[in-house]
Each structure stands twice: as C-alpha cells, then as structure tokens.
A and B are shown apart, each in its own frame.
Chain A
Amino acid sequence: MFKTLHKYASPMHFFALARALTPWLFGISLVLFGVGLVWGLFLAPADYQQGESFRIIYVHVPSAWLSMFAYLVMAGGGALSLVWKIKLGDVIARAAAPLGASFTALALVTGALWGKPMWGTWWVWDARLTSELLLLFLYLGYLALQSAIEDRRAAARAGAVLAVVGIVNIPIIHYSVVWWSTLHQPATITKMGAPTMATSMLIPLLIMAFAFQLFFLALLLVRARCEILEFEQRAQWVKTLLGASDQSRGTR
C-alpha cells in the first residue's frame, strides 16, 4: 500500500497515471453534466417559496463546495511539500490554485445573481459572504506569490506556507452560518440529520456536484501534468517522453 503510494508520488509515475485517468474523468463528468442539467432545469419542480430562481442552486452550490475542496487540495499539497519534501505536493498545489480561484469566483457571482431577486441585494457583508470573499483573496494571494517570485522552488515554498496557514478560513466559512447571524441561510445538507430538501430537487444537486467534482479532478490532473513538465524539463524521462512523442509524429 505504502509502496504504491510512494511510487505515484514520483512525478514520472504520477504523469503516466494522470494521462490514463484524465479521459475517463472528463468523459464521466460530461455525461453527469448532461443528466444533471436536464434533471435540474426540466425535471426538478420549482421551489414553493423561490419558484424557478432556486435552479441557480445547481451551479452555485457545487461551485461553492468545490471552492472549499480545491483549497483543501491546495493546502494538502503545500503540507506534503513542506513537511515530507514531496515535490508532487508543490505540483498539486500550483495546479489547484487557479481552479480554486475560478470556482470561488463562480460561487460568489452566482450567489449574487441569486441574492438579487430573492434577498433583494447583490451583496451583503455578512459572515458567510465575507469569509468566502476572503477565500478568493487567499487564492489570488497564492497566485500572486507564484508570479512574483522568480525561482519556482522558492515561490512554491512561500505559497505552501500561505496555503497551509489559510486553511483556518475553511471551518470559518463552513460554520459562519451557525456561529453568527447571517443573511445567508444555514446548510441544507448536513452530516447529521436528513437534508431539508425534497428528493426530486436533491438528486440533480448531487449529480451536478459529482459532475463538478470529477471535472475539477480532470482539470487538476491536466494542470499537474503541465507543472510536472515545467518542473522536470531537465529530467531524462521527460526528454525520453518528448523524443518518443516527437518521433511518433515523424521528424520535421
């Protein structure tokens, strides 16, 4: 078990594994997107209070979940690199950051589009919305560090510290609706207790969340491959790989 884990922590084996997995992840997620969109937009009933506007949930909630999951991936990668000196950690953290930033932005914007008709405002400075905005700034801070520091290893190291320390914000986002009075409502789906959502609306939400998740993992693997290529461009296996792919295309 530990041996296989260790094997895939090596960039070369991870690269091969990522190449094999990506088409499957993209394929399955696209099928789930198709099913989830039809189910969410056509088959799910309108909400008793919010009418058709509640359908924004099928974009908003999966991207909000992903915004936090991507952060855990980024911080986890950072910890792997800081504590265990596993190079793959930096690769994963750098690959996750732009994805996390884009899904956080998507969650914020779709939330505003939902808030305007239902709450009566695009934005409020309540604890949930503010902590989610802070999450976006953490991602942007990480990305700024990566582009500001010339040396890749130093940039990855500084970013890893920021990512690991910023993890404090994740429980704050999650519990903000419990700890403080907020305009944002509490969680619909919780670990304990039944979800406070009719099954006919819940199933498409879970399908969409799963589709987003798999699509994210596919994107993460593609981006990680790019990072590996850049990190390891002097390694012999990369040169062999490039030579092989070049020959298969025929010499120019």
Chain B
Amino acid sequence: MTPRRRRMWTIGLLVCGMAIATALILKAFQQNLMYFYSPGDIAAGKAPSNRDFRIGGMVVKGSVKRDQKTLAVRFTLTDYAHETVVTYDGILPDLFREGQGIVANGRLNPAGLFVASEVLAKHDEKYMPPEIAASLKKKPSNLDNAP
C-alpha cells in the first residue's frame, strides 16, 4: 500500500466514522429535532402533557373565530387525518390565514384544547404571482398539489 493510498483510507474512514456517529446521535435525538408535533401525534399520545411543545398543521378553512373585543382567536389545526383546536391571545403573523400552515407553541389543557403562547406562520416552497394562483384555483395543476 502506497503512503498516498494509506492517507486516502485514513481520511475516508475518518469521514465515514464521523458520518456514522452523527447519524446515531441524530437518530437518538430524532424526537427533539422535530420542530413540532402534528395533531396526529397528539391523538396518538406522543406529545408531552406536562410541558410546552409546538404543534404544526394547516388552519382549517372557516374555523377561525375572532373575539370582537380582544385579540383572542380560536381555530382548528389539521394534518388531514386528525384535528386539534387551538386558542391564542396575541398578534398573528402577516401570513396567518385559513388554509395556511402554522406552528404554535403552547400546551394542552386537560380538555384537550391547545393553549398557544406564540403562533408562527409556515409557508410552503411554492412561489407564483397572484394571477397564476387565481387561475390555478379553477384548474389544478402540478403547482397546486398541496396535501
């Protein structure tokens, strides 16, 4: 084995070792690396009940109910299998709207209602001008296959 080949193997093994170690660590902390739980996770009892966590999902169309006098708002989140009702009292981000993905931080109350202390909007990877978005509403295409 030439010295160069030996160095190549050393470096290669070093990188492979690092990759495997990293993969194992990431696997062990899989749950912590998840930024949010879905309503399905909550239904399956995977979400913590005694501390704050984040929930992510789509705001169900027509579910947003605003209090007339305060900032309080109540809406339903869905992952298209399960639903969770969220209440929040505060300023919503610009992108918050019905049918939009959001992530809320807070905790479940005993009644199974998610009381949020913070609401963040999540946007998807699609970008298009409003005219195209309007015409796509009538005729679905590959730009409009949102889950």
Interface residue ranges, A against B (CB under 8 Å): 45-50, 54, 57, 79, 82-85, 117-121, 124-127, 161, 164-165, 167-168, 172, 179-183, 185-188, 194, 196-198, 200-201
Contact = CB atoms under 8 A, between A and B. Distances in A.
Interface string B125-140: 1111111111000000
13 contacts: A45-B130, A83-B7, A117-B94, A119-B120, A126-B35, A161-B14, A164-B11, A168-B22, A179-B26, A180-B35, A183-B103, A198-B129, A200-B129
A63 B5 CA distance: 36
Contact of A198 (B8, B35, B132): B132
A209 to B, nearest CB: 15
Nearest to B145: A196
A164 B127 contact: no
A187 B125 contact: yes
Given A57-B127, A120-B119, A185-B124, 18 more contacts: A45-B130, A45-B131, A48-B130, A48-B132, A49-B100, A49-B123, A49-B133, A50-B127, A83-B4, A84-B4, A118-B93, A120-B92, A120-B93, A168-B18, A172-B26, A186-B124, A198-B127, A201-B128
A125 B32 CA distance: 11
Given A183-B103, A198-B128, A201-B128, A168 B15 contact: yes
Minimum-distance CB pairs A-B, first 7: A120-B93, A45-B129, A48-B133, A126-B35, A198-B128, A197-B127, A48-B130
B54 to A, nearest CB: 9
A47 B11 contact: no
B33 interface: yes
B68 interface: no
Contacts of B131: 45
A103 B80 CA distance: 39
B71 interface: no
B122 interface: yes
A165 B18 contact: yes
A47 B121 contact: no
A196 B126 contact: yes
Given A83-B8, A168-B15, A196-B143, A180 B126 contact: no
Contacts of A47: 127-129
Contacts of A126: 35
Contacts of B26: 172, 179
Contacts of A84: 4
